[in-house]
Amino acid sequence: MRDGSTTTLRERLHALAAFLPEFEKPGFEFGEWVTPPASEPGVMIMPYFTQGPVAESLCRTCYDMGCVLQGFDWPVWMNTTEATQLRDNPSALERATPDQLARLLTVLIRQDRFVEGALEAAFGAGLLVRILRRAASLEAGLTGRCELTGDGAVYEVEAGRSGASSPRADRRKLRRSRRRSNVQ
């Protein structure tokens, strides 16, 4: 198992994006609900959800790569406006930062431990596929590697086409700001 703090942002995004082709395949099965037979007459055993191998692998990868945040108060955050917008508004998710994706994945994966089938419901609603698409989009836009710092990740991304500056100019600005912060 890898420690998520030693992975680059590019590695994390790539690991998530790698699941997209499987999740988008027609007929992909995230898992299945299992209803065990009653062991005695009049005894009901509650159904439970079993994730398929790809879904299990996604969860394991999220933990291994640091996409499930430790020490994050996800039950509080999941009720914020930010979380609701990311979950319910596809255009908001299309603009999500890597940190927001990690928060959202943390909520979905941790919630599934307490609410049977919650992750499957997120898949069924298209939320997981949208998260993976955003991860693929972010990965495609990276031009540098992630440097983990005490207060979060620092990374370079290409400037948007509508922006006034070019990717080259943005990289120069970032290098200058790094030099200044190293001097102080």
Instruction: In whole angstroms, give the CA distance from residue 154 to residue 120.
Output: 32
| Full-model pTM | 0.74
pLDDT of residue 149: 36
Task: Give residue limits of the domains in the chain.
Answer: 4-142, 143-184
The pLDDT profile of the chain, 184 residues, written as one tens digit per residue, is: 345 567 899 999 999 999 999 999 999 999 999 998 887 888 888 899 999 999 999 999 999 999 999 999 999 999 999 999 999 999 999 999 999 999 999 999 999 999 999 999 999 999 999 999 999 999 998 844 443 333 334 334 333 333 333 344 344 334 433 333 333 3
Encoding tokens for residue 145?
Answer: 């590697």
User: Which residues, at least 6 apart from 157, have a Cβ–Cβ distance to it below 8 Å?
Assistant: 138, 141, 142, 143
